Amino acid sequence: MNGYEFSRTWFDFSFVNPGKVKPVHTAVYFFAIERCNRLGWKEEFGFPTDLAMEALGIKNYKTYIGTLQDLEEWGFIKWIQKSRNQYTANVIALVKNTEAPPKALDKALSGHCTKQVRSIASIDKQLNYKQINHKLLNQEFFLKKPLLKTKRSEVPKDQLSFYDWAFKFQELFLKNLKNKGAPTKKIEMAGLKECLEPIRLMIEKDGVSENQLQLAYDLLNGPDEFWKGIILDTDKLRQKIGQLIAQGKKPMKTENMDLRVRQKIKNYD
């Protein structure tokens, strides 16, 4: 199915179930269709709770979760993995729903059409029928060339957002090591693919939003020294991103932690 088919099926259903469907159901379902489209119509995809609530103006977490439960019960989504709280992502899949008789809405609409009007306006719509191709990252060039020595113009367009985040974090890791007087060769020579892939997985599979990545960046760039000695590559960032998000803008007090940090940095190279 494509976006038009999902849309038609939804309104067929909502027309014959006016006592069930509320505007919030339509909003959440269509945002799920939009996210699936942007990710290349993946069968399963991360659906970040905070991102959806912010985009749709939903203030109550229970309202949002209740809406997802309704959509699953009505057969429009499949809940692959449920989030633990409002800061983690659900993993869902869109489902082809044939419960609503399509002729009901067709008949109602035909009764309101008095004449046909030909439009002369053009419509441009983004169509992503194929999943984004990540095979370019498997080329020998991307396997071996260091991220920090790769120009942005050399990166495929569908990888640029991942590259920007990876480059940003890699420069931060390098700065944190230099501030401690630690070896930096491993950071400087880290390959493009090994740096980009954890970022891509966080965004596409884990459902981490860019706001959450920025939150993690600010924490690693702040005065707290604890995480600076632990997270020194994007793979470790992916492992610890949940703890960083939970910690938020309230860094832990790490008194007497310098020795521990120094030991971790020493062992890194």
Q: What is the pLDDT of residue 68?
A: 94
Strands 77-81 and 89-94: antiparallel
In a domain, 121, yes or no: no
56 vs 245, higher pLDDT = 56
User: Are 168 and 244 in a shared domain?
Assistant: yes
In a domain, 45, yes or no: yes
Q: Which structural domain range is residue 53 located in?
A: 3-110
* pLDDT class of 264 with cuts at 50, 70, 90: very low
Q: What is the pLDDT of residue 247?
A: 80
Mean per-residue pLDDT, 106-124: 52
User: Are 70 and 140 in a shared domain?
Assistant: no
User: Are 160 and 264 in a shared domain?
Assistant: yes
In a domain, 117, yes or no: no
Asked if residues 212 and 237 have their Cβ atoms less than 8 Å apart, the reply is: no
User: Are 82 and 44 in a shared domain?
Assistant: yes
User: Exposure string (b/e) for 193-227, b if CB count within 10 Å is 16 or more?
Assistant: bbbbbbbbbbbbbbbbbeebbebbbebbeeebbbb
In a domain, 123, yes or no: no
In a domain, 122, yes or no: no
Residue bearing tokens 């020998």: 140
Q: What is the pLDDT of residue 139?
A: 57
Q: How many domains does the chain have?
A: 2
The CATH code of the domain that includes 32 is: 1.10.10
In a domain, 16, yes or no: yes
Is the model's pLDDT at 254 over the cut of 50? no
Query: Last residue of a domain, which of 94, 110, 126?
Result: 110
Overall pTM surpassing 0.85 (yes/no):
no
User: Are 250 and 146 in a shared domain?
Assistant: yes
User: Are 68 and 156 in a shared domain?
Assistant: no
In a domain, 260, yes or no: yes
User: Are 140 and 71 in a shared domain?
Assistant: no
User: Are 28 and 69 in a shared domain?
Assistant: yes
User: Are 100 and 161 in a shared domain?
Assistant: no
Query: Last residue of a domain, which of 110, 144, 166?
Result: 110
Q: pLDDT tens digits for 216-251?
A: 999 899 888 888 888 999 999 999 988 888 887 554
Q: What is the pLDDT of residue 245?
A: 84
User: Are 98 and 168 in a shared domain?
Assistant: no
Q: How far apart are CA 263 and CA 247, in angstroms?
A: 23
Q: What is the pLDDT of residue 143?
A: 59
Pick the closest to residue 219 from 255, 244, 246 (CA basis): 244
User: Are 166 and 236 in a shared domain?
Assistant: yes
Q: What is the pLDDT of residue 244?
A: 86
Q: What is the pLDDT of residue 265?
A: 44
In a domain, 65, yes or no: yes
* pLDDT class of 263 with cuts at 50, 70, 90: low
Mean per-residue pLDDT, 105-125: 53
Q: What is the pLDDT of residue 243?
A: 87
Q: pLDDT tens digits for 24-40?
A: 999 999 999 999 988 88
Q: pLDDT tens digits for 178-231?
A: 988 888 899 899 988 899 999 999 998 888 899 999 999 998 998 888 888 889
